[in-house]
Amino acid sequence: MKKGKVRDFGTGATRDTDENKLDYEGFNSPLVMERYAQYMNKHRVQSDGSLRDSDNWQNLFGPDHLDVCMKSGYRHFMDWWKQHRGYEGQDTLEESLCALLFNIQAYLFKILKEKEENKKDKR
């Protein structure tokens, strides 16, 4: 059995090191996550005034899900790029970035979901 490194806190408490473990806290920013959540919450309100569930997007956008994400993401990327170059965009810079992040996450979600489903099918 391979021996790992142990942290000793000098209090009697010990823990394995966090070496080679995912650092979710370090990889994310509370400022970005909060702004993105504000963006997502704002866009929960539908044109008829009803409120969709926060995870509604995880139901996917039909058989063309990836194309829907790509086309929308590209529009928001163009808006971001225009603003980066000093031109006026359709949305604010923050809205454009959050919208692009949404489309990237929705695209990646479908890929990862299918990967998980394929793993289950092989069992």
Q: What is the pLDDT of residues 38-75, one digit of tens each?
A: 999 999 999 999 999 999 999 999 999 999 999 999 99
Q: What are the φ/ψ torsions at residue 47 (nearest 5 degrees)? A: -60, -25
Computed over every residue of the chain, the mean pLDDT equals: 94
What pLDDT shows up at residue 120? Answer: 86
What pLDDT shows up at residue 2? Answer: 58
What pLDDT shows up at residue 121? Answer: 85
Amino acid at position 62, single letter: G
pLDDT at 1 over 70: no
- CA dist 75 and 81 (Å) reads 10
- CA dist 4 and 47 (Å) reads 56
Instruction: Report the percent of the chain where pLDDT is more than 70.
Output: 97
pLDDT at 123 over 90: no
